């Protein structure tokens, strides 16, 4: 159910997520010190390839990481297995990718 | 149903109320027996007393009675124990004892479980010696102080009692999971200088039921009657498999290692 390939994918995506999460929280704390409106945030993120890359990478890593984690929980606690487990895992991954991707595009694209 | 064993108990003697599982997996219930409390009494003594003096049809398994053969493990008050080395005085709570067949294994009858799935997984985990020499070759000396030998030694006292297998919540939730004992055996052989096929072991523990399913909850180490630490062995396997996959990242990410169909 959780073989070496999925285990490594989950660990590697965790490695990617860790610095991005710290960066996200650090920027959030720093940016709101003087008060910040949504318009001001969008003013800085829209059209920024850097933020697109930052949050785009984060969304991809989260989608893979969470799908594998939920796959394990679903198998052990709800008994889902075989094809239905694979379909569930892919749906979670694609769902998070689509939702996260939309959010990233909304705040970074003009 | 309650049995008192009146013919052989002294009414003045203190007794323990023992609930014992009777039946198989599909049909069964706990039966109560009043068993005389004796000095230095083990849980296996209690089961044997019931079988010898009250109900000869009670089915259970034991052999050596001294903690070497690994035959007599059962659930005692919902915890897996080697019953021949578990003192009743330490297990009894409020004068009561509950004895059931080992968890995570099919029940054959009463306190006897079918051990086949447990031992089948030893084979699946390549928990067998892969010869590096024949009987005609000279015996190669092993350095007992080498890091690999010390690591291998840490797991060799396993008596195959399946207490760790019964204690493991991952085994309970995942039928494919090889379990702590089989994986510890694989780790022991992986570190054995005289085992010739490390790659096969790595492949065997990297599949969908392999070491990566362990959540490191530690029940195996907590309940192991010989105080071994299968969780540590499994962590060693995770590290070894991860290192081997990083040496050939493309192969492992594409799932080309055998058994990676998960």
Structural domain harbouring A40: 4-108
Kindly determine whether residue B174 and residue A76, on different chains, have CB atoms separated by under 8 Å. yes
Domains for chain B: give ranges and CATH numbers: 2-113 (3.10.20.30), 116-253 (1.10.1060.10)
Kindly determine whether residue A3 and residue B212, on different chains, have CB atoms separated by under 8 Å. yes
The backbone torsions φ and ψ at residue B87, rounded to the nearest 5 degrees and listed phi first, read -70, 130
Residue B3 pairs in a beta bridge with B33
Question: Do strands B2-3 and B28-36 pair parallel, antiparallel, or not at all (unpaired)?
Answer: parallel
d(CA B260, CA B239): 17
The whole-angstrom distance between A38's CA and the closest CA on chain B is 41
pTM of the shown model: 0.88
Looking at residue B1, its pLDDT comes to 61
The count of domains in chain A is: 1
The answer to ipTM > 0.90 is no
d(CA B3, CA B19): 10
* Test mutation, B209, B213, B244, chain A, max A CBs within 10 A: B213
Cβ neighbourhood burial of B255 (10 Å; 0-12, 13-18, 19+): middle
Looking at residue B245, its pLDDT comes to 87
Residue B22 pairs in a beta bridge with B29
Angle of CA points B27, B95, B53, to nearest 5°: 60
Which residues in chain A are closer than 8 Å to B176, comparing Cβ atoms? 1
Q: What percent of chain B has pLDDT over 70?
A: 90
Q: What is the largest CA-CA distance in chain B?
A: 74
d(CA B223, CA B213): 19
Nearest Cβ partner of B210 from A3, A11, A76?
Answer: A3
pLDDT digits (tens, 9 = 90+) for B210-256: 999 999 999 999 999 999 999 999 999 999 999 988 887 666 566 55
Structure tokens at B88: 């009743």
d(CA B10, CA B18): 17
For residue A1, what is the nearest residue in chain B, using CA coordinates? B208
d(CA A13, CA A66): 10
Kindly determine whether residue A1 and residue B245, on different chains, have CB atoms separated by under 8 Å. no
Give yes or no for residue A12 having a pLDDT over 50.
yes
Q: Could you tell me how many CB contacts below 8 A there are between chain A and chain B?
A: 58
CATH number at residue A9: 1.20.1300
pLDDT digits (tens, 9 = 90+) for A83-92: 999 999 999 9
pLDDT digits (tens, 9 = 90+) for B138-168: 998 999 999 999 999 999 999 999 999 999 9
């Amino acid at each position: 159910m959780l073989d070496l390939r999925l285990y490594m994918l989950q660990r590697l995506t965790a490695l990617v997520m860790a610095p991005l999460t710290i960066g996200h929280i650090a920027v959030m704390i720093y940016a709101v010190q003087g008060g910040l409106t949504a318009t001001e945030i969008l003013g800085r993120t829209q059209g920024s390839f850097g933020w697109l890359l930052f949050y785009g990478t984060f969304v991809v890593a989260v989608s893979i990481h969470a799908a594998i984690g939920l796959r394990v929980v679903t198998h052990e606690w709800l008994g889902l297995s075989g094809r239905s487990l694979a379909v569930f895992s892919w749906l979670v991954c694609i769902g998070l990718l689509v939702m996260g991707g939309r959010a990233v595009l909304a705040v970074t694209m003009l | 149903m309650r049995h008192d064993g009146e013919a052989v108990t002294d009414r003045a003697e203190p007794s323990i109320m023992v609930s014992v599982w009777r039946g198989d997996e599909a049909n069964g219930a706990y039966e109560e027996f009043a068993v005389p409390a004796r000095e230095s009494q083990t849980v296996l003594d209690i089961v044997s007393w019931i079988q010898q003096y009250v109900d000869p049809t009670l089915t259970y398994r034991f052999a050596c009675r001294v903690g070497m053969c690994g035959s007599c493990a059962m659930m005692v008050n919902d915890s897996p124990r080697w019953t021949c080395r578990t003192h009743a005085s330490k297990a009894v709570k409020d004068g009561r004892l509950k004895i059931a067949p080992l968890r995570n294994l099919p029940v054959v009858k009463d306190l006897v479980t079918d051990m086949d799935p447990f031992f089948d997984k030893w084979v699946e985990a390549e928990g067998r010696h892969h010869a590096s020499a024949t009987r005609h070759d000279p015996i190669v000396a092993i350095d007992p102080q080498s890091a690999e030998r010390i690591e291998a030694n840490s797991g060799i006292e396993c008596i195959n009692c399946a207490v760790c297998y019964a204690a493991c919540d991952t085994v309970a939730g995942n039928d494919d999971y090889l379990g702590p004992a089989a994986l510890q055996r694989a780790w022991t052989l992986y570190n054995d200088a005289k085992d010739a096929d490390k790659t096969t072991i790595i492949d065997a523990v990297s599949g969908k039921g392999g070491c990566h399913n362990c959540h490191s909850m530690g029940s195996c180490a907590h309940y192991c009657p010989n105080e071994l630490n299968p969780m540590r062995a499994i962590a060693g396997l995770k590290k070894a498999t991860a290192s081997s996959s990083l040496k050939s990242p493309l192969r492992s990410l594409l799932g080309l290692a055998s058994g990676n169909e998960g």
